[in-house]
Structure 1
């Protein structure tokens, strides 16, 4: 499935919806407000970390929609993976290099998405999320930016829970201020 299916003209509705949502999340994850001193690094890790945060929040919301949510979550993941592969190919990396490089990228995504999901479901989600973000290593005190991003993620998840699946599939969601 994925890239091959699109090239062959097979485009499932959940893939179209996943693509629409993914590119909306990707656009938001590139917001300059997330980057800078004491914020996310504007590099490979920082950008994947931000897309992981947005994907984790969206996938957490989609879990509430049973099988439909599961299908859309998978389509969303497939879009991200295809996007990673396209980016590597645009850098001039061949098949063998893509296979070697995509695996660490996906593993990094899984690691961060799990940490974010666990934080969203923690007893004290704001503190747990700020701890996961930990941009400036100080385990005793999250920075104001880490707390702001934690609040951002929790506020966005709360607003997503008020939307129907139809609104989500049309990417009719609003991001809070960073």
Structure 2
């Protein structure tokens, strides 16, 4: 093997490991009971999928803030892993094979839309009120119930922005449970 092939393989393995580590932490924090027990987010398949999406959006937003091709590749791999997880969740529910593709496509469209809207709200000057509007408009929270989740997401986004770039690239994202951020 040449040096180029070995370097490519090592980067690919590192990317896969970083994606797996980021995904594992993302799922742990997104599915933690904090927001479901308070009723801020519906404890349903869609509510949980939306929580996965908002956390994925924060991670991908942070990775996309880094320069170079590797952060973009890790962000894309993380996004693909999230979508694969949605597919697997439908299969676990026993959804028929003929309808899985349609359901995953619909969920993927919602995932991209919510993720993009949340990133734009975080980048705007609107602060928490812009995030609340996105959460309520997309049905993540009921009207009047988005303040706690918005405060958490804004604080988490700020915390991720302060995290070391090298840690982010290894997938060691500092996912903090809502109870610790509130």
- Sort the TM-score into its range (normalised by shorter chain): 0.7 to 0.9
**Consecutive unaligned residues in structure 1, runs of 5 or more:** 1-10
State the 4+ residue runs in structure 1 displaced beyond 6 angstroms: none
**Consecutive unaligned residues in structure 2, runs of 5 or more:** 1-11
Deviation at 1:105, TM superposition (A): 1.2
Conservation of the 8 A alpha-carbon contact between 2:49 and 2:86: no
Distance in 2 of aligned mates of 1:56 and 1:173: 14
Conservation of the 8 A alpha-carbon contact between 1:15 and 1:79: no
Q: In the alignment, which residue of structure 2 is the partner of 1:60?
A: 61
Q: In the alignment, which residue of structure 1 is the partner of 2:142?
A: 136
Distance in 2 of aligned mates of 1:46 and 1:174: 19
Alpha-carbon displacement from aligned partner over 1:73-113 (angstroms, at most 9, x marks no partner): 10101111121222222334454332222101111111211
Alpha-carbon displacement from aligned partner over 1:32-74 (angstroms, at most 9, x marks no partner): 1111454100012211111111011111111121222211110
Q: How does 1:1-178 map to 2 (within 5 A)?
A: 12-36=13-37, 38-66=39-67, 67-93=69-95, 95-134=97-136, 135-137=141-143, 142-143=144-145, 146-168=146-168, 169-175=170-176, 176-178=180-182
TM-score normalised by the chain length of structure 1: 0.81
Distance in 2 of aligned mates of 1:127 and 1:113: 17
Conservation of the 8 A alpha-carbon contact between 1:15 and 1:76: no
Backbone CA RMSD of aligned residues? 2.0
User: 3-state DSSP class of the match of 2:43?
Assistant: coil
How many matched pairs?
A: 162
Alpha-carbon displacement from aligned partner over 1:151-170 (angstroms, at most 9, x marks no partner): 21121111112222331224
Distance in 2 of aligned mates of 1:164 and 1:177: 19
- From the superposition, tell whether residues 117 and 170 of structure 1 become closer, same or farther in structure 2 (CA, over 3 Å): closer
Conservation of the 8 A alpha-carbon contact between 1:61 and 1:161: yes
- From the superposition, tell whether residues 167 and 94 of structure 1 become closer, same or farther in structure 2 (CA, over 3 Å): same
Alpha-carbon displacement from aligned partner over 1:120-140 (angstroms, at most 9, x marks no partner): 111122110011122232xxx
TM-score normalised by the chain length of structure 2: 0.79
Deviation at 1:172, TM superposition (A): 4.5
